[in-house]
Amino acid sequence: MGNLTGKTALVTGASRGMGRATAERLARDGALVAVHYGTNEEAAAEVVAGIEQDGGRAFAVRAELGAPGDVHELFLALEEGLKERTGSTELDILVNNAGVMGGVKPEDTTPEQFDRIVAVNAKAPFFIIQRALANMPDGGRIVNISSGLTRFANPDEIAYAMSKGAVEQLALHFAKALGPRGITVNSVAPGITRNGNPVFDMPEAVEAMAALSTFNRVGEPSDVADVVAFLVSDDARWVTGSFVDASGGTLLG
């Protein structure tokens, strides 16, 4: 029995990267995990199958965040999946992980690109929390994935960093509002973390990225998932409204 046995969790953007590692870790800790994805149904199904093979419980939910009706679609699928498996729609743990990088220089960023980044990275987490609160019992847990770029300058990613700055505000203000219910809300800020981006197949690029961390390596998805697992556990009951640096010391300068 894991420390999350009997709990339910939603991890957004769990078909790949840190979201996937987080879904797998929470399932190993005993939670029933809703593996959310946007487009890659096959990848999400693979995550669910892997969790089940390891004796855990999970189901996939699709919703294209940033599109009209996104949160409604997400919660329709989530509630159906939870009800089927637990007989209730209670959600104990929410991890807002799904996000999109900018990848466009400020001088080339169009209003449409800016709106999309903000819609997926900041607006969706706000409305997901707003909606999730109807399902979340006292003692629930909310973690929002930010980025070290809110503290580490990268002029090529201003719009993205702005969206993550907004995400961090969720922890401060929702933590105050939800304290009386024993619900904690925290931000986790990863540094450069391996994902499916082809840049991680280029040794020179990986070496340069690794040099930003005091540990001289790039982060692995599990490095961040383990931090999230602590924050959603009972052990973190006294931690709320915090900014957790999970950048491997990148922010030390």
Site for ligand NDP, rule CB under 6 A: 13-19, 37-40, 64-66, 97-100, 120, 145, 147, 190, 192-193, 195-196
In whole angstroms, the minimum distance from the beta carbon of 209 to ligand NDP comes to 8
In whole angstroms, the minimum distance from the beta carbon of 121 to ligand NDP comes to 6
Sheet bearing 184-190, strands edge to edge: 57-62, 32-37, 8-11, 93-96, 141-145, 184-190, 243-246
What angle (nearest 5°) sits at the alpha carbon of residue 169, between those of residues 153 and 125? 100
Give the max Cα distance, the chain.
53
Closest to ligand NDP by CB, 207 vs 234, is: 207
In whole angstroms, the minimum distance from the beta carbon of 40 to ligand NDP comes to 3
Closest to ligand NDP by CB, 90 vs 220, is: 220
Q: Which of 37, 59, 114, 160 is catalytic?
A: 160
In whole angstroms, the minimum distance from the beta carbon of 190 to ligand NDP comes to 4
45-57 burial: b if 16+ Cβ within 10 Å, else e: ebbbebbeeeebe
Closest to ligand NDP by CB, 90 vs 217, is: 217
In whole angstroms, the minimum distance from the beta carbon of 128 to ligand NDP comes to 11
Residue 160 appears among annotated catalytic residues: yes
- Residues 86, 89, 90, 91, Cα dihedral to 10°: 100
Q: How many CB atoms are closer than 10 A to CB 194?
A: 19
| The length of the chain, given as a count of residues | 253
Closest to ligand NDP by CB, 182 vs 202, is: 202
Closest to ligand NDP by CB, 61 vs 234, is: 61
Q: What are phi and psi of 141, to 5 degrees?
A: -135, 135
d(CA 224, CA 184): 18
d(CA 20, CA 13): 7
Active centre residues (catalytic): 160
